[in-house]
Every structure is written in C-alpha cells, then in structure tokens.
C-alpha cells in the first residue's frame, strides 16, 4: 500500500568548498506524484537541495536515497544506474543559457535521448512530439543563443522532456519570464500534475506555491527546514515567512489611502 | 544589437575615443558580425545554396591554389572571382571588397612595406625619400604579398558569410571530425558571444562613469581586473554547463544526428572550382617568369 | 603575431599544418585523461576566454595599447596541454570567422602561439615559482614566464618568415613569399617583442594573476598535479652533452664572422666593425678555452660553463625572491569567502 517514497533525505548536510554551510541537517521524504515547492530566500540552500535531488551535488554528511537506492558519486558512475536515474529525473536550470550547450535546438532535444542510447528513429519521434507539444517546431534549426528568453526556456524544458522523466526539478522557473510565459508555465505544471509526475520547484516566488503545489517546504536562512505543510497552512504563517525573509513589511499607497501590511512580491492582492 | 541600440552615433571628433569605448566598439562589432551572419546566410544567393562541406573544401582549395600563384594578375583574378561570387550571393560587393582588403590590407601593408625598399629588395629605384628608396621589384613584391593575403581572405570570408555557423559545424561532423571536437567548437562559439556581451557591457559602463581618461596604470589595473573577472566567470560557467550536461546523462560522448545531403549542384560546383583553380594556376605558369 | 596567408610558402605551411596533427592528438589524449568528461565545457570556456583575452586593449604607457595572447596565463591555470587546445581553437575561430591570421598559416600560428608559448611559459613559470610559491613569487614568475614565452614564440615566427627567401625564389633570386631574410626577420620579431609586446604580455599576465589571487586563489591550483621536473633536467643534460656536434660543422655561423673572416669574404672590412670588433675580449674566445686542446672537450667545457652561469643566475633570482618573502610575516589563512553558488 505504501509505495517506496521517491526521495528520502536523512540528516543531510552540505558545505561549500570554503567551509560555510549550504544545508544544515535536512530530513525530508518526497512521495511519488507530489507537487512540492521549496521556498526560501536567496542563500537559504534551495538550489543546492534541488541539485542534490538530481545527483549533481552530494551530501557531506547524512544520506539521500532516490527510488530506494542511496545516491552517491560512485553509484552514478555505474552506467546502468546512471541511465536509469538520468532518464527518470529531469532538471530545468534557472539560467536557460547554461542548459543550452548544443549547436541547434534540434540537437538540444536530441542530446538526452542519444545519451540514453535510443535509436535514431525513436529519438526523432520523441523530438517531433515534444516540439509540437511546446510549439517550438519552427525554431528547431536555430542556434540557441539566437533565441529570445521565452523561446530559450521552452527549448530548455523540451530538452528535458525528450528524456520522458518522471520527476521534474525546476530551479526558479519564473525568473526572467515575461507574464505571459509565466502563465504558460503554470499551465504546463498543471498538465504534469494531471499526468502524475513528481514535481519539485525551488523558488522565492510565492504565487507558484499558492497556485499549483500540494506541499510547501520553507528553508530558513540557517539552511534548515522550518516549515513543511500545505501551501495554505504555510502561507498563513506570516510571522514565520517574515522571519525567513520571504516576505517583508512594506508601506505603500493605494489610491488615496496609505497602509502597511506584510506581503511577498509575486502575490496579486486586491483591496476593498 | 540591444546593447548598442540606445547609443547615438558619436559625432566625428578629433579627440581619440577612450580605451573603454574603443574596446566596447570592437567587441560589439565582433558580436554583430557573428550574429548578422544569419540574415546574410538566408538570402537566396549562389553560395547560400551549396552544401557546407563543399564550401569548406572550397576554402581549402582556393587558399592552397592561391599560395602557388605568383603572378600579381592571377592573384587579383582570385580576388575578382571571390567578388563576383559575392555579388552572385546577394552580398554588397562594396562592403565585401572593403572587408577583404581591410582584413588583408592594413596589417599586410605594414608587414610588406619594408620589402618595397631598396634595403630589402635592391633594384631599379622608382622613388627616393632621402636615404629610403622604393624599388620597382620591391614594390611588386610588396603589392603581391598584399594581393595574396586578399586572395585567401576573399573566399574564406565569402564562405563564412554565406554559411550558418550551425551548418558549418554539422558539415564538420559529416566530414568525420571527432564529435567531441565539434561539440567543443559549438560551445566555444556560443560562449564567445556570451563573454563578449559581458565585456562590452562592462566597458560601456566604465565609459559612462569616467570623466577623465585615467592614467595608463589605472586603466591597465581596471582592464586586468576585468580580465580576471572574465576568467573566473568562464570557469564558473564551465562548472554550470558541465552540471547541465550531467543532468541530461552526459558521460563523455557527444553523439549527433546529422544528415547532410549533397545535390548535383554541389558536385558541379566542386568540379567547376577545381577547373577554375587549375586554369588560374596554368595562367600563372605562363604569365609569371621564374 | 598572427601570420596572414601568403607569407609562408607551401613547404613551410604544409610542414607546420601536418606537424600540429600529432601535437593535437597528444594534447587531446592528455586532456581527456586529466579532465575526463569535463573536458568539453572546460576547453570550450578556455577557448572562449583565450579569444576574448586577445580582444582586450591593454594600456602599456602613455596612450599606447597592445593586445596580449594570454597563452602562458591559460597554461598556468589549466596546464600546458589544455592551454594548447584552448588557444588553438581560439586561433582557428579567429582565422576562419574574422580573417585574423591566414587559413594555410593556421598550422604556423597555432605552433607559435598555442604550442611554443604555453609550454615555454608553463615550464618557466614552474621553474621560477618552485613548488609551493607565495603570492609574490607566483606573480613575478608568471610575468617573467609570459615575457619569455612570447619572445620565444616570436622568434619561431621570425625563423618561419626568414626561411622563405631561402626556400622559394625565382631564378633571379627574388623571394616568392615573405621577402625578409633570417638576418632581418628574426631580430625584428625578437626586438618588437622584447621592447613592446613582451611587456604587454607580461603586464597583462601579472595584472590578471594578481587579481585572480586576490579574488579566488583556487583558480590557480586548477592545473593537473604537477609532475616533478627531473625529466627536464635530464633532457637538458643530454642537450649539453650533444653540444660537441658543433665541432662537425665547418666554418662559422652565418652572420657571426669576425673581422678577419669578413675581410676575406668581402674584400674589405667595414670601418665600424674593425674598431668595435676588438673592444671586448671574451673570456672563452671561440668556445675554446686556451688550456683545453681538444675541440670536443672545449665545447663541452663551454657548454657546461655557459649553462651553469645561466642556471646559476636564474636560481639566484629565485632564491632572492624566496628570501624576500621569508623575511615577511607569513600570510594569514584566507578568511572564509562568501559561497560561490547562490541558492
């Protein structure tokens, strides 16, 4: 009845090369199909945590288990496990430029499946269907650095989707996206929810948590977990959010009246 | 170019542009040249329709052929040929020629001018400036040097302007250049554009903040500090890109799905170019006395 | 130092183009071994950085500026083989896309700037910096290494130029390619770089290394673990032992004639030569010390003495630098820096 949880983190700590802490004692379990938002101010460690979920960074203490197997550098050197893990977990980086390193957008979409060892025909089929899904078929022959910000993001996401991952990790996905693209992204996220994918998003944009997540985890500036619950619950804890620097007190004017209240940017709110 | 769009064309002044401005201009120009290519490469001209592999072979063919020609007329023939092809490829012949002679001209001229003097090439004196005199054979040698540089540059620039960088790279793969090499070239190209944009912006920012020219040592301190910053940024970017590659399953190989097709037009071109080079070299043998 | 097309004839450019192939092959396999899967992004960034460095205007003095190559700097950061590949890629892109440097001359340019420069610069840097150098020693070593490396590269370029009139000329003796003889090409290139471009290179390298050490000294520890230089000394020793081969060559090196020989060749001795020729009496004239009768032993003696003097001076300079540091208080451990990865 209880399926193996997707991820189990126990006592995970991580230090930077200089010795300062990036993550301090994280205990966490993520089940398959959950939509989790990891929120925190810049410097709280959420990007590091996300990279750890993708086996790009390993704990200095504690263990992280993925699909029942402990994630270590050695484990990922095994070709069979590496292929399985990489095809199951997709990472969308904050900066699309970093993620687009191939000659053309077509090559980007082909890179993942080719690394997994798929045959040419299968690769071309996957590319065609993902390109159509994300509406980037006309720009497949272009070099990524000639594309606009929104186009790059679509190509970046497409390049991950051709691997048909079950788990999707997104690092600050709405950064540098114009409003229309942000709405488009939220649509994509809800599609994935319908399809049963596990999605983990690291962000300081609280509106994503409100709109699409089942669960919200907050990292404090001391790099530990200080809240873990439904978005409704967590977002109502104003004092907590203030203390971790996710929202701030701000005085402003609406029309003729001045008032102050705590809020985070990215939240739309109206006043009577 | 977004970075330059808001800057009005500077009035022509006799005052020398600042170091920061000169570098920013050079860098911006380089980025534009690299990016502008897409527009020119999409025009419906002669060279644009040829397969990239064939064009690469053509560069080699012409460059090597020109290196065997010794008659000034034959070399100028090569340049004229390139200009003609440029016209057939919907390029502005004026700007093409200007670019060819500029890239050949200044530096080559400087290097070859001493060869025109009696000191290097003794012979019949044409003109004398005091102790320095220009000789007839010297002048011929100097001009020929410049012409040979232009001859090689002409066809090279023509191919590069009429071919998308992406196609050039695909051509290299199709020519069995190792995948890792091609992948590295692709990534280098892209990173050059990114780094150049950063450099251009920092130089423009400095330009906008400086009221006086600054001493050489001061400027040098700033320039080297910027270069160090670029060095660190490069290494950090390499780390990030590596992570991104790992995340998509990278384990050291970069396979590619490249399918280029050659048409009869391509083969016809190859034959025609080879015959043309042979004819030019034949003419050279006749015209130029050894 | 970018040689355009048309200055080197096919005999020269073809030889250098072909010579680079095994060098690149070795570089590729070395880089693959040390950098492993990370080689692609690192080489791409190294090449992009090299390209960008060559675009910077470095102020020298007054209003003059010059361009640096940066090969020694990259060799110090990434190691000589990785530097070879990075600078090669940058040069190829410059030649193809920007017409900076000829296409047939790619082999020559790569040889001078992506092979000679990084290797000379790297090993000289290691010789002067020693095993665990302090900041000041690192900086000084990098400057000297950069200066010498670009002069070395320029001398190779000068030789490549200077050989052309000998290799290809008309029946009348007119050169078909670069028209400058060795006696003009080599000194010109060398002096140009000794007086100007060498300083550009040194100043740029010193400036960048200083800034790097201040901002992030870990970058300078990136190169693959340095192997001991014993083999270098062994190779050097062998070269010293081989110097007596000079005994086999008859006559005097081109351009190195004394007054008497010049008189015999030309029929007269230029006035200035006659006067100056006797101004200095060498300690070991003609590489043949008076007390050694056999020419072979004489060569060996001269070689050992000469090498000892050169090495001795370098060693003394290095020791002076080291002593200068030892008399200062030791540098404190670096305070923890802010995290390099934002989260």
CA distance A271 to chain B (A): 39
> Is there a single domain that holds both residue C216 and residue C244?
no
Chain B: residue whose CA lies nearest to A78: B251
Within a domain: C17: yes
pLDDT in tens, C193-241: 999 899 999 999 999 999 888 877 667 766 665 666 666 666 666 666 6
Chain C residue numbers touching A18 (CB-CB < 8 A): 336-337, 339-340
Chain B: residue whose CA lies nearest to C86: B188
With CB atoms and an 8 Å threshold, state whether A47 touches C343. yes
Q: Does A163 contact B at CB distance below 8 Å?
A: yes
With CB atoms and an 8 Å threshold, state whether A103 touches B246. no
Residues B139/B114, Cβ–Cβ less than 8 Å:
no
Residue environment code for B186-224, b if the CB has 16+ CB neighbours within 10 A, otherwise e: bbbbbbbbbbbbbbbebbbebbeebeeebebeebbbbbb
Chain C: residue whose CA lies nearest to B199: C52
Q: What is the pLDDT of residue A35?
A: 92
CATH label of the domain that carries residue C29:
1.10.1760.20
Mutation target to probe the C interface, by most C beta carbons within 10 A, among A14, A15, A17 is A17
Residue among A130, A190, B266, B16 nearest C59 (CA):
B16
Mutation target to probe the B interface, by most B beta carbons within 10 A, among A103, A123, A140 is A103
Q: Residues near A142 by Cβ (< 8 Å), separated by ≥ 6?
A: A104, A105, B166
Residues A229/A59, Cβ–Cβ less than 8 Å:
no
Under the banding of pLDDT at 50, 70 and 90, the label for residue C170 is confident
> Is there a single domain that holds both residue C180 and residue C131?
yes
With CB atoms and an 8 Å threshold, state whether C343 touches A19. no
Q: Which of the pair, B10 or A234, is modelled with greater confidence?
A: A234
Within a domain: C338: no
Under the banding of pLDDT at 50, 70 and 90, the label for residue B150 is confident
Chain B: residue whose CA lies nearest to A92: B244
Chain A: residue whose CA lies nearest to B182: A103
With CB atoms and an 8 Å threshold, state whether B247 touches A91. yes
Chain C: residue whose CA lies nearest to B234: C45
The two tokens of residue B82 are 């390139």
CA distance B268 to chain C (A): 24
Mutation target to probe the C interface, by most C beta carbons within 10 A, among A40, A43, A49, A97 is A43
Rounded Cα gap, residues B188 and B115, in angstroms: 38
Could you tell me where the beta strands, DSSP code E, fall in C89-133?
Answer: none
Under the banding of pLDDT at 50, 70 and 90, the label for residue B241 is very high
Q: What is the pLDDT of residue B275?
A: 92
Rounded Cα gap, residues B17 and B208, in angstroms: 13
Domain count, chain C: 2
The proportion of chain C whose per-residue pLDDT surpasses 90, expressed as a percent, equals 30
Domain with C172, as residue range(s), is 10-227
Helix (H, G, I), strand (E, B) or coil at A15: strand
H helices present in A24-78, as ranges: 46-53, 73-77
Chain B residue numbers touching C46 (CB-CB < 8 A): 234, 238
CA distance A120 to chain B (A): 7
**Which chains neighbour C (Cβ–Cβ under 8 Å, 3 or more pairs)?**
A, B
β-strands A215-219, A35-40 pairing: parallel
Within a domain: C232: no
- Is C296 a residue whose pLDDT tops 70? no
CA distance A222 to chain C (A): 12
> Is there a single domain that holds both residue C133 and residue C26?
yes
Within a domain: A223: yes
Question: What number is the average pLDDT over the span C126-155?
Answer: 89
The proportion of chain A whose per-residue pLDDT surpasses 90, expressed as a percent, equals 36
**Which chains neighbour B (Cβ–Cβ under 8 Å, 3 or more pairs)?**
A, C
For C277, counting Cβ atoms within 10 Å of its Cβ (0-12 exposed, 13-18 middle, 19+ buried), the class is middle
- Is A156 a residue whose pLDDT tops 80? yes
Q: Which of the pair, B26 or C77, is modelled with greater confidence?
A: C77
Task: Give the ipTM of the model, two decimals please.
Answer: 0.86
Helix (H, G, I), strand (E, B) or coil at C79: coil
Domain boundary among C202, C227, C252: C227
Residue among B60, B3, B61 nearest B27 (CA):
B3
With CB atoms and an 8 Å threshold, state whether A45 touches C343. yes
Within a domain: A1: no
Mutation target to probe the C interface, by most C beta carbons within 10 A, among A18, A51, A77, A217 is A18
CA distance B55 to chain A (A): 19
Within a domain: C128: yes
> Is there a single domain that holds both residue C75 and residue C44?
yes
The proportion of chain A whose per-residue pLDDT surpasses 70, expressed as a percent, equals 90
Chain A residue numbers touching B248 (CB-CB < 8 A): 86, 111-112, 115, 159-160, 163
Domain with A89, as residue range(s), is 7-263
CA distance C39 to chain A (A): 14
Mutation target to probe the C interface, by most C beta carbons within 10 A, among A14, A15, A16 is A16
* Average pLDDT of the residues of chain A: 85
Q: What is the pLDDT of residue C102?
A: 86
pTM of the model: 0.80
Residues C189/C153, Cβ–Cβ less than 8 Å:
no
Chain C residue numbers touching B184 (CB-CB < 8 A): 39-40, 43-44, 47, 89
Chain A residue numbers touching B247 (CB-CB < 8 A): 54, 56, 86, 89-91, 93
Domain count, chain A: 1
Within a domain: A269: no
> Is there a single domain that holds both residue C44 and residue C180?
yes
With CB atoms and an 8 Å threshold, state whether B38 touches A146. yes
Residue C328 to residues C137, C138, C143, C206, C331: CA-CA distances in angstroms? 13, 16, 22, 21, 9
Least confident among A40-49, A260-269, B141-150, C66-75: A260-269
Rounded Cα gap, residues C8 and C168, in angstroms: 10
> Is there a single domain that holds both residue C177 and residue C254?
no
Rounded Cα gap, residues C313 and B22, in angstroms: 42
Q: What is the pLDDT of residue C335?
A: 39
CATH label of the domain that carries residue A139:
3.40.50.300
Q: Which of the pair, B216 or A154, is modelled with greater confidence?
A: A154
Asked whether the CA dihedral B90, B92, B93, B99 is positive or negative, the reply is negative
Q: What is the pLDDT of residue C336?
A: 37
Mutation target to probe the B interface, by most B beta carbons within 10 A, among C17, C42, C179 is C179
What residue segments make up the domains of chain B, in order of their start?
Answer: 16-42+178-254, 46-175+261-285
Within a domain: A30: yes
Contacts B–C by Cβ distance under 8 A: 229
Backbone angles phi and psi of C112, in degrees to 5: -70, -45
Question: What number is the average pLDDT over the span A236-258?
Answer: 71
Within a domain: A230: yes
Rounded Cα gap, residues C12 and C111, in angstroms: 12
Chain A residue numbers touching B187 (CB-CB < 8 A): 101
With CB atoms and an 8 Å threshold, state whether B228 touches C180. no
CA distance B163 to chain C (A): 11
Partner residue facing B67 (CB), from C93, C97, C104: C104
DSSP collapsed to 3 states, chain B: CHHHHCCCCCCCCCCCCCHHHHHHHHHHHHHHHHHHHHHHHCCCCCHHHCCHHHHHHHHHHHHHHHHHCCCHHHHHHHHHHHHHHHHHCCCCHHHHHHHHHHHHHHHHHHHHHHHHECCCCCCCEEEEECCEEEEHHHHHHHHHHHHHHHHHHHHHHHHHHHCCHHHHHHHHHHCCCCHHHHHHHHHHHHHHHHHHHHHHHHHHHHHHHCCCCCCHHHHHHHHHHHHHHHHHHHHHHHHHHHHHHHHCCCCCCCCCCCCCCCCHHHHHHHHHHHHHHHHHHHHHHHHCCC
Rounded Cα gap, residues B19 and B216, in angstroms: 10
Within a domain: C116: yes
Q: What is the pLDDT of residue C332?
A: 39
> Is there a single domain that holds both residue C160 and residue C223?
yes
Question: What number is the average pLDDT over the span C54-58?
Answer: 81
Residue among B257, B256, B272 nearest B54 (CA):
B272
Within a domain: A2: no
Q: Does B93 contact C at CB distance below 8 Å?
A: no
Chain B: residue whose CA lies nearest to A118: B255
What A222-228 contacts at long range (C-beta under 8 Å, 24+ apart), as own/partner pairs, is: A222/A24, A223/A21, A223/A22, A223/A23, A223/A24, A223/A44, A223/A45, A224/A23, A224/A24, A224/A25, A224/A26, A225/A26, A225/A27, A225/A28, A228/A28
β-strands A21-30, A167-171 pairing: unpaired
Q: What is the pLDDT of residue C152?
A: 93
pLDDT in tens, A46-104: 899 999 999 999 998 899 999 888 999 889 888 899 999 999 999 999 989 899 999 89
Residues C336/A20, Cβ–Cβ less than 8 Å:
yes
The two tokens of residue C33 are 């071994």
């Amino acid at each position: 009845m209880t399926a193996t949880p997707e991820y189990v983190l126990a006592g995970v700590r991580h230090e930077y090369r200089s010795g300062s802490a990036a993550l301090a004692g994280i205990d966490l379990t993520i089940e398959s199909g959950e939509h989790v938002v990891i929120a925190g101010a810049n410097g709280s460690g959420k990007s590091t945590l996300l990279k750890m979920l993708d086996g790009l960074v390993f704990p200095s203490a504690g263990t992280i288990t993925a699909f029942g197997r402990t994630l270590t550098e050695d484990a990922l050197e095994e070709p069979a496990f590496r292929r399985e893990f990489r095809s199951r977990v997709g990472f969308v980086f904050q900066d699309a430029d970093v993620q687009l390193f191939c000659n053309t957008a077509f090559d980007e979409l082909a890179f993942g499946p080719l690394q997994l060892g798929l045959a040419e025909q299968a690769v071309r089929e996957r590319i065609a269907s993902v390109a159509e899904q994300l509406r980037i078929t006309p720009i497949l022959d272009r070099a990524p650095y000639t594309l606009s910000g929104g186009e790059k993001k679509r190509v970046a996401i497409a390049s991950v989707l051709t691997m048909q991952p079950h788990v999707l990790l997104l690092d600050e996905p709405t950064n540098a996206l114009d409003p229309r693209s942000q709405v488009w992204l939220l649509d994509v996220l809800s599609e994935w929810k319908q399809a049963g994918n596990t999605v983990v998003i690291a962000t300081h944009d609280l509106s994503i948590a409100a709109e699409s997540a089942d669960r919200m985890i907050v990292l404090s500036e001391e790099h530990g977990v200080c809240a873990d619950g439904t978005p409704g619950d967590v977002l109502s804890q104003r004092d907590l959010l203030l203390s971790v620097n996710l929202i701030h007190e701000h005085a402003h004017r609406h029309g003729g009246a001045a008032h102050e209240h705590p809020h985070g940017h990215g939240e739309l709110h109206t006043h009577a | 170019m977004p970075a330059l769009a808001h800057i009005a064309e500077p009035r022509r002044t006799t005052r020398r542009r600042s170091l920061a401005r000169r570098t920013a201009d050079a860098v911006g120009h380089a980025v534009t040249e690299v990016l502008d290519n897409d527009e020119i490469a999409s025009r419906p001209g002669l060279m644009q329709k040829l397969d990239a592999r064939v064009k690469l072979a053509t560069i080699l063919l012409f460059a090597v052929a020109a290196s065997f020609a010794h008659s000034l007329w034959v070399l100028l023939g090569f340049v004229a040929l390139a200009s003609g092809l440029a016209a057939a490829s919907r390029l502005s012949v004026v700007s093409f020629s200007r670019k060819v002679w500029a890239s050949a001209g200044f530096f080559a001229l400087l290097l070859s001018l001493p060869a025109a003097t009696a000191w290097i090439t003794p012979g019949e004196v044409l003109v004398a400036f005091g102790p320095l005199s220009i000789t007839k054979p010297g002048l011929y040698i100097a001009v020929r040097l410049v012409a040979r540089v232009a001859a090689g540059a002409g066809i090279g620039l023509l191919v590069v302007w009429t071919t998308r960088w992406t196609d050039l790279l695909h051509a290299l793969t199709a020519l069995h250049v190792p995948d890792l090499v091609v992948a590295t070239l692709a990534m280098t190209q892209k990173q050059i554009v990114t780094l150049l944009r950063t450099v251009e912006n920092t130089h423009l920012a400095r330009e906008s903040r400086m009221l006086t020219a600054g001493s050489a040592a001061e400027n040098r301190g700033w320039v080297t500090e910027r270069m160090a910053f670029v060095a660190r940024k490069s290494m950090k970017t390499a780390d990030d890109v590596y992570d991104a590659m790992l995340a998509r399953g990278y384990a050291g190989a970069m396979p590619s799905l490249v399918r280029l097709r050659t048409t009869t037009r391509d083969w016809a071109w190859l034959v025609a170019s080879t015959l043309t080079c042979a004819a030019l070299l034949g003419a050279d043998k006749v015209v130029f006395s050894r | 130092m970018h040689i355009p097309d048309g200055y080197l004839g096919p005999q020269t450019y073809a030889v250098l183009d072909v010579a680079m192939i095994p060098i690149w092959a070795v570089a590729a396999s070395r880089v693959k071994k040390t950098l492993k899967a990370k080689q692609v992004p690192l080489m791409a960034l190294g090449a992009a950085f090299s390209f960008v460095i060559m675009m910077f205007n470095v102020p020298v003095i007054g209003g003059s500026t010059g361009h640096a190559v940066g090969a020694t700097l990259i060799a110090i950061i990434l190691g000589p083989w990785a530097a070879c590949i990075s600078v090669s890629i940058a040069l190829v892109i410059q030649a193809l896309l920007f017409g900076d440097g000829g296409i047939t001359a790619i082999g020559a340019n790569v040889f001078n700037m992506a092979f000679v420069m990084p290797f000379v610069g790297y090993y000289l840097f290691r010789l002067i910096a020693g095993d665990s150098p302090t900041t000041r020693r690192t900086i000084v070593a990098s400057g000297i290494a950069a200066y010498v490396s670009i002069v070395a590269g320029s001398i190779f370029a000068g030789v490549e130029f200077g050989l052309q009139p000998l290799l290809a000329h008309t029946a009348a003796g007119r050169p078909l390619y670069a028209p400058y003889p060795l006696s003009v090409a080599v000194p010109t290139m060398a002096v140009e770089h000794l007086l100007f471009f060498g300083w550009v290179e040194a100043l740029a390298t010193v400036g960048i290394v200083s800034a790097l050490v201040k901002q992030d000294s870990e970058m300078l520890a990136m190169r693959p673990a340095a192997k001991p230089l014993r083999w270098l000394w062994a190779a050097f020793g062998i070269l010293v032992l081989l110097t007596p081969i000079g005994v086999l060559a008859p006559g005097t090196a081109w351009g190195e004639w004394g007054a008497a020989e010049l008189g015999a060749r030309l029929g007269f001795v230029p006035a200035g030569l006659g006067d100056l020729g006797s101004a200095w009496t060498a300690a070991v004239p003609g590489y043949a010390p008076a007390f050694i009768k056999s020419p072979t032993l004489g060569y060996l003696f001269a070689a050992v003495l000469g090498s000892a003097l050169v090495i001795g001076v370098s060693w003394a300079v290095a020791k002076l630098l080291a002593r200068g540091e030892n008399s200062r208080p030791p540098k404190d451990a670096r305070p923890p820096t802010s995290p390099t990865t934002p989260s």
